[in-house]
Amino acid sequence: METPPAGWLKLNVDGATRQSDGMCGVGGLLRDHNGNPVGTFSERRSPAPPLIVEVWAIERGLRLCLSDGWFRKARVMVESDCKKAVDLILKEAIIPVHLSGLVRGIREIVSRYGCMLKWIPRSCNTSADSLAKRGIG
């Protein structure tokens, strides 16, 4: 795990879906520039397509940063292993109607607080994946 530079926090997020019943979970881990955990979340969500679950995970992680006041203390680097979700948020593409409100809200937070959002390989996101699976129950 690569740590963020001083003055930054790193938020790794992921979504997971249980194949047997479609239940979903989102999870994330917020670390400081020394790699120390400073916040986590792990929540169950209702069945939804995988892309929606991944976007929910990004949104939930950003809400954690908002509610706990982290944006006042440092800039936040968000990492997700879902390239499609990251591209949907970062690129000026047409947003599917069922995701438009969620994506617009994420874009607003990213812009307002100067967040960096990037894709990382799944192998670099195992902690967030474990938290997302824990959220399913």
CA distance 5 to 122: 22
pLDDT in tens, 11-61: 999 999 999 999 999 999 999 999 999 999 999 999 999 999 999 999 999
Q: Which CATH class is domain 8-136?
A: alpha beta
pLDDT in tens, 82-126: 999 999 999 877 788 888 899 999 999 999 999 999 999 999 999
Domain borders along the chain are: 8-136
Strand-strand pairing, 75-80 and 37-45: unpaired
Q: If you ran DSSP here, which 8-state letter would residue 49 be given? A: -
Cα angle for residues 101, 103, 109 (degrees, 5° grid) = 105
Contact 51, 85 (CB under 8 A): yes
- pTM of the shown model: 0.94
